[in-house]
Amino acid sequence: MKKTLEREGNNVVKVGVEIEADKALKAYEVACRQVSSRLNIPGFRRGKAPRNIVERAVGVDFLKREALENLVPEVLGQVIVDEKLDIIAEPQLESYEFNLGEPLRLNASFEVRPEVKLGNYRGLKIEVPEAKLPEDSMEKALKSLAEARSTLQTVDPRPAAMGDTLLMDFECYSEGKLVEGGKAEGLLLEMKEGNFLPGFCEQLIGKEPEKQTEVNAKFPDSYRNAELAGKDANFKVTIKEVRTRVMPEINEEFAKSIGQESLETLKTALQDRMEAEIKGENEARSQKLAVDAVVAAAEVEIPDSMIDRECNLLLQHLKRMVEERGQSWEGFVNTKEYPEIYMEKKAEAKQRVLTSLVLGAVVRAESLAVTEEESAPYLAELVSRYNVPVERIRQDEQIRRAFETLSRQAMEEALTRKVVDFLLAQSEINFVPEPEEKEEAKPE
């Protein structure tokens, strides 16, 4: 096999390959037998028809394409190994000359990892704004627990107020017509600013039960029903009951009701949990700032193709989220907010690719690697999400391939953690006070 390589730009390698005529002919004959085994040709058993009969049945060009499908991955895979190409996408076959009895000539392109020039990544001095528990953190934690165990109680008829929960019926009209699905009975609505639709709850303040009232609102431009997005709405509302949330008293009995021996042990458990969360937050800040510093010191020209692929992955994830909310993706794309969202995803994609390239360069520079034992916790976490019995993994080839992908993903996650830990170990981390938030100037 003869090869010629030519670098094009920062991350594309063009490869010309010449394959011996006998090897190309052998691949063609194998393709003939494979195609013959799938055909019903009168007068011949499957797989037994002569080559010339198969050629007349499907055409020589079809058989050449079948041969290429078998041969090209093997040939290009060998090129990758021989030339030590660090590819970041599937090779692309661009052209070929396939004449039986002559050498087979292929032209392909390989997208390879762009070169990264690392700056200083050892001995960095990193100042990390330190997260600390607020003085009222225990009070808020206890209140949150009590709110989670609160109950709604109906109060004697009185006007609705913010903080109440209303049991109500309503009909929704837009452009004078009852909206499809716009009628509800026995709806529970918590009265708080911005809930349901902007300005909706505010118009119910002071309204009394069993009296119909009108509320005028507007559907958001990004509303899941594209036909209603951005349109005005008129609601005819009848409040049936006003309910208020009653929280349990925070005392010894309350602590025992959630499995603690006493109020003191409950506070100790909450304190331990909050301190662990703060520790985790400070670790995450340290990791991010250390990685950001190393990335900022590196030089790399990122190909648009890498950014586009990553951006498409982010958009596919966003699409799933939008559709899970019951909203049309096409409708979402047509909202006025989408162009800004797209640019945000594009910027995020660029930063993710940049970070990945730089961390990869550190991995190679330091010859970092992970063992199966180190990746095992990451794989266990991934596998637990699918809850598939081990026996089924062994028996089902499709599931087995999926879990092989998960295994590679676990190795990548473990390696990422290892390189980040390495950078932290090489850095001097100094915690500094968090900057105080500036109060917005109020108009006089």
Distance CA 317, CA 329 (A): 12
pLDDT given at position 437: 67
pLDDT given at position 389: 59
* Of 214, 197, 217, 200, the residue nearest 162 (C-alpha): 200
CB under 8 Å to 385, separation ≥6 — which residues? Answer: none
pLDDT given at position 227: 80
Under CATH, which number does the domain 2-113 receive?
Answer: 3.30.70.1050
Query: Quick count: other Cβ atoms within 10 Å of Cβ 231?
Result: 14
For the chain, report the end-to-end CA distance as a whole number of angstroms.
81
Query: Check: CATH 3.40.50.720 for 151-246?
Result: no
pLDDT given at position 316: 95
Read off φ and ψ for residue 59, nearest 5 degrees.
100, 145
Confirm if 349 and 307 have CB atoms less than 8 A apart: yes
Q: What residues of the chain score a pLDDT lower than 50?
A: 441-444
CATH class of 262-433: mainly alpha
CA-atom Rg of the chain in angstroms = 32
CB under 8 Å to 406, separation ≥6 — which residues? Answer: 379, 382, 383
Delimit the domains of the chain by residue range. Answer: 2-113, 151-246, 262-433
Q: 0.85 cut: is pTM over it?
A: no
Q: What is the DSSP string of 262-313?
A: SHHHHHHHHHHHHHHHHHHHHHHHHHHHHHHHHHHH-EE---HHHHHHHHHH
pLDDT given at position 55: 86
pLDDT given at position 14: 93
